[in-house]
A and B are shown apart, each in its own frame.
Chain A
Amino acid sequence: MAHDDGDRHHHDHGSDLSEMQLRTRALETILLEKGYIDPASIDVLIETYEKKIGPRNGAQVVAKAWVDPTFRQWLFEDGTAAIGSLGFGGRSGNHLVALENTPAVHNMTVCTLCSCYPWAVLGLPPLWYKSAPYRSRAVADPRGVLADFGVTLPKDTEIRVWDSTAELRYLVVPMRPAGTDGWSEEKLAKLVTRDSMIGTGFPKNPGDAS
């Protein structure tokens, strides 16, 4: 039965570490002592996904698709190859499919069964993406989910929800905002939000604060 955290008593333990921290430390120590893992590798893995790989990658892909029609076409025909040409790929990015938002169709991606997400272009998924409310409602009531994000689509826009049940990972390519003619890829990339590439948001508009 869940405890009310407001009532957490302060026990006279030696430190403030939670049970999960203690268990994780214990397991890491054991695995290191047995030589199954290399501590430097652990640090590199953490640094990679905390600092290096993130939605900036996907924003770069989207911005290029906005300015370069040839790339755009390649992206929709063969997402893995096109995205790979920018240096992004590998783990959870071996099979990438780009989805085109149009005035008629809005795409949304989910993994109802766990948390499959295109790490290579978006980094690690946010907690809401992996949690029961999104996973249960995205496929049944996408408009309700979008409302939770403050997003309303026109009534006759078709919503396509893609459930990532296999190793394919989906990247939504949102529509280019108006008033951005002549912008550089780098400037355009700053408008591309993570949520717009999942399908639970739109890119920023030129007027929005960065």
Chain B
Amino acid sequence: MNGGQDLGGTDGHGPVMPEPNEPVFHAEWEKRAFALTLAMGMPGGWNIDMGRFVRENRPPGEYLAMSYYQIWFAALEQMSKERGLMADDEIAAGHSLRPPKSVKRILSPADVAKTLHRGGPTERDTNMPAAFRPGDAVRMKNINPPTHTRLPRYVRGHAGVIERVIGCHVFPDSNATGAGENPQWLYTVRFDGRELWGADGDPSVTVSVDAWEPYLLSAG
């Protein structure tokens, strides 16, 4: 979606402000929100792409005004509610008011280390040949899906070069809608800075994105 999260090249946000000796978490609630989000992935049954879409799918003014973990937490609440795992009146009460929904699995303490260690690799086997090779000239499609995509606006319609064929990976645009993993060939596409930002741009800057085949048109 063309939402508040698609920030590349936007203006007005001010300087980058690193915090010296920044703690990993700035408040106790952030720690809990973080851990709850990770732990609810299993019983919740959502995938990372669904989660990203829920986070970004809010009015831009809200998205930009919320802190990082506020966004995480709001998304966790929403996904839990949408899947009938809990309800607003229970939050207001601070307690469970009705029996739980039956879930397949939950994260036990004994499984934490190995679950984190395994992670969620997205590469998949395929019989499809990759359409592009390193060095190929491509143009990014001008797509504007209202749902989740990982093709930022600042590269759409622009000309780039395939730098690397990464592999066949889960395709977020499908996975986020529940339409399935639909793995696609994934490439690193490189752009000249001036192609993206105009003739007055810095000639010493190159930018790349990792783009799946459905984002690409051959320009060769």
Q: Are B65 and A132 in contact (CB-based, < 8 A)?
A: no
Tell me the minimal C-beta distance from A135 to chain B in angstroms. 12
CB-CB under 8 A from B144, the residues of chain A are: 140
Q: Are A132 and B60 in contact (CB-based, < 8 A)?
A: yes
Q: Are B60 and A2 in contact (CB-based, < 8 A)?
A: no
The proximity string for A residues 129-146 relative to B, scoring 1 for CB distances below 8 Å and 0 otherwise, is 000100000001000000
Beta-carbon contacts under 8 Å, B45-61 to A: 59-61
CA distance in complex: A86, B67 (Å): 54
Q: Are A1 and B60 in contact (CB-based, < 8 A)?
A: no
CA distance in complex: A140, B59 (Å): 17
CB-CB under 8 A from B202, the residues of chain A are: none
Beta-carbon contacts under 8 Å, B64-79 to A: 65-67, 70
Tell me the minimal C-beta distance from B177 to chain A in angstroms. 19
Cβ of B62 under 8 Å from chain A: yes
Q: Are A1 and B66 in contact (CB-based, < 8 A)?
A: yes
CB-CB under 8 A from B70, the residues of chain A are: 1
Instruction: Give the bracket for the number of chain B residues in contact with chain A.
Output: under 10
Q: Are A132 and B66 in contact (CB-based, < 8 A)?
A: no
CB-CB under 8 A from B67, the residues of chain A are: 1
Residue of A nearest to B65 (CB): A1
CB-CB under 8 A from B62, the residues of chain A are: 2
CB-CB under 8 A from B65, the residues of chain A are: 1-2
Beta-carbon contacts under 8 Å, A88-129 to B: none
Number of A-B contacts (CB under 8 A): 10
Beta-carbon contacts under 8 Å, A1-30 to B: 1-2
CB-CB under 8 A from B66, the residues of chain A are: 1
Residue of A nearest to B70 (CB): A1
CA distance in complex: A1, B66 (Å): 6
CA distance in complex: A31, B144 (Å): 47
CA distance in complex: A154, B62 (Å): 36
CB-CB under 8 A from A1, the residues of chain B are: 65-67, 70
CA distance in complex: A132, B64 (Å): 14
CA distance in complex: A140, B1 (Å): 13
Tell me the minimal C-beta distance from A96 to chain B in angstroms. 32
The proximity string for B residues 156-172 relative to A, scoring 1 for CB distances below 8 Å and 0 otherwise, is 00000000000000000
CA distance in complex: A140, B144 (Å): 10
CB-CB under 8 A from A2, the residues of chain B are: 62, 65
CA distance in complex: A20, B67 (Å): 25
CA distance in complex: A109, B62 (Å): 27
Tell me the minimal C-beta distance from B142 to chain A in angstroms. 12
CA distance in complex: A115, B59 (Å): 19
CA distance in complex: A1, B144 (Å): 29
CA distance in complex: A114, B59 (Å): 18
CA distance in complex: A80, B117 (Å): 70
CB-CB under 8 A from A140, the residues of chain B are: 144
Tell me the minimal C-beta distance from B7 to chain A in angstroms. 16
CB-CB under 8 A from B60, the residues of chain A are: 132
CA distance in complex: A196, B70 (Å): 42
Residue of B nearest to A133 (CB): B59
Residue of A nearest to B66 (CB): A1
Residue of A nearest to B146 (CB): A141
Residue of A nearest to B60 (CB): A132
CA distance in complex: A1, B58 (Å): 14
CA distance in complex: A2, B70 (Å): 12
Tell me the minimal C-beta distance from A43 to chain B in angstroms. 34
Residue of B nearest to A141 (CB): B146
CA distance in complex: A58, B70 (Å): 47
Tell me the minimal C-beta distance from A27 to chain B in angstroms. 23
> What are 10 A-to-B residue pairs whose CB atoms are below 8 Å?
A1-B65, A1-B66, A1-B67, A1-B70, A2-B62, A2-B65, A132-B59, A132-B60, A132-B61, A140-B144
- Residue ranges of A at the interface with B (Cβ–Cβ < 8 Å): 1-2, 132, 140
The 4 closest A-B pairs by CB, nearest first: A1-B65, A1-B66, A1-B70, A2-B62
Given contacts A1-B67, A132-B60, 8 further A-B contacts (CB under 8 A): A1-B65, A1-B66, A1-B70, A2-B62, A2-B65, A132-B59, A132-B61, A140-B144
